[in-house]
Structure 1
């Protein structure tokens, strides 16, 4: 199979997933994975479709494979880090979730979704203080609510140490 055929088949599989046909997309992606086992884009899309189908344990090796290669585009890498971290969390692999999501936040510090998922994983590992810090900072920085923005400075202040009493 040529690279051009691979790109066409990959686009068709992604379209199937996006159009609500994940089983058909999965079949095509598994065939592509067999033909292109080292292709990061194929691995990422295969991981994603497994997640969509609720097959988280099956998604993990594809996420891990796509992140090992250095050729994923920036948005796909961001999505793969979030997907793998979230999947680890769903599977109860909380330490791995925190590690993966921390890596994602380090690479993409502007990504609020990565920070939100990291806060959930931190909660699961008992790191409640850091989880709340992340969420409060995210709320203060991204909320469009005029009432939240009115209290942005105190929210950010208390995010530093919720146990502090004035």
Structure 2
């Protein structure tokens, strides 16, 4: 006997997410919202609603969806993406202190996800903390690049970055 342990909502969510490749986000949002009404406590559905709302520029709707997804609990990779989306949405809404706090907490939880550094740098820049923002981006660049010219000057770049903060 065959047993499929996938939750009932998974196949429909996968189909909706798969349809994104056609770029018709306005048509996907109602499908996601209908799925959410049938399965209101699924973090992955809330996360997809948040991302879709953010993509559509509906930041006021994205914000509670990100918060719901995080509160319900996501797998680590999706949680990191949700924190990034939440932080970016908060920045775009002008909630800079909260954006920075979310992104800093996410960096502590996911130190290998360097994209969080870059999004935190965007928030820091928006706060007028451009030196700290640039230092963060330069550190991320030095840590992740394989460019021979940059790696040759990595020590000098890090030294200059440290003086920016």
Unaligned residue ranges in structure 1 (runs of 5+):
none
Q: Distance in 2 between matches of 1:56 and 1:96?
A: 15
In the other structure, the counterpart of 2:153 is 151
Give the CA deviation at 1:64: 0.3
TM-score by length of 2: 0.90
In the other structure, the counterpart of 1:107 is 109
1:46 equivalent in alignment to 2:53: no
Give the CA deviation at 1:140: 1.1
In the other structure, the counterpart of 2:100 is 98
Q: Deviations for 1:43-78, whole angstroms, at most 9, x for unmatched residues?
A: 0011111112121111110000011123x1111101
In the other structure, the counterpart of 2:3 is none
Contact 2:134 2:161 in 1 (8 A): yes
Give the CA deviation at 1:8: 1.5
In the other structure, the counterpart of 1:160 is 162
The farther-off stretch of 130-139 and 79-88 is: 130-139
In the other structure, the counterpart of 1:13 is 16
Unaligned residue ranges in structure 2 (runs of 5+):
1-5
Runs of 4+ in structure 1 off by over 4 angstroms are none
Contact 1:85 1:98 in 2 (8 A): yes
